Amino acid sequence: MTSRRMQFGVLLAVCACLFLPACRKGGGEGGGQLAHLTVTLSVDGNGNCVQKLNGAPAGVVSLSGGDTVTFQTDNNAAFALQFPPPSAGSCSSPFRDASGNCQWSFNNSNPTSGPAVGQPGTPFPYGTLSINGATCNLNSGPQPLGMRIKP
């Protein structure tokens, strides 16, 4: 009888190892998969900032909790993107680094964010964006460029 119990225990352990990982809930809101987004920054002929998500212009990029973003520019041009600086106890960026600190400044040497956090519907407009040393206009569209946590 002990042999059968051991066989059953081994079978149960093998099944758990095979099938339980497939049942894990994905991160983010609603159990969806976490996304890693690439946002391409550029300047139009009028000096207005432009951002594209998957090649399509996007005034505001919607994020799910836990999503990460890599910022880049066309032709690897130098860029500096900043959300408004954090104040005591407040972060004006949706991103946190691995230590949980506010991540509000991005550039060519630091282009990738930590996970997005924030209350659903919260907007996070950019503070400044410069490409190749020239600051562009963030407010040329119906709303300032930035990020938003999906409702």
Beta carbons of 116 and 64 less than 8 angstroms apart: yes
Tally of structural domains, the chain: 1
- Whether 1 is in a domain gets the answer no
**Structural domain boundaries enclosing 142:** 28-149
Q: Residue 87 sits in a domain of what CATH number?
A: 2.60.40
Q: Does position 125 have pLDDT exceeding 70, yes or no?
A: yes
Let me know if residue 3 belongs to a domain.
no
Find tokens 């066989």 and name the residue: 7
Q: Is the pTM of this model over 0.85?
A: no
Residue 15 inside a domain? The answer is no
pLDDT in tens, 15-74: 343 343 333 333 333 445 689 999 999 999 999 999 999 889 999 999 999 999 999 998
Helix (H), strand (E), coil (C) string for 62-127: EECCCCEEEEEEHHHCCEEEECCCCECCECCCCEECCCCCECCEEECCECECCCECCCCCCEEECC
User: Is 16 inside any structural domain?
Assistant: no
pLDDT digits (tens, 9 = 90+) for 70-110: 999 988 999 999 999 998 889 999 999 999 999 999 999 99
Amino acid at 25: K
Tokens of 101: 């600190």
CA angle at residue 74 from 39 to 124, to 5 degrees?
Answer: 30
User: Does 21 map to a domain?
Assistant: no
Closest C-alpha to 128, from 99, 93, 96, 102: 93
Q: Is 94 a domain residue?
A: yes
Q: Are 73 and 50 in contact (CB under 8 A)?
A: no
First to last CA, the chain: 56
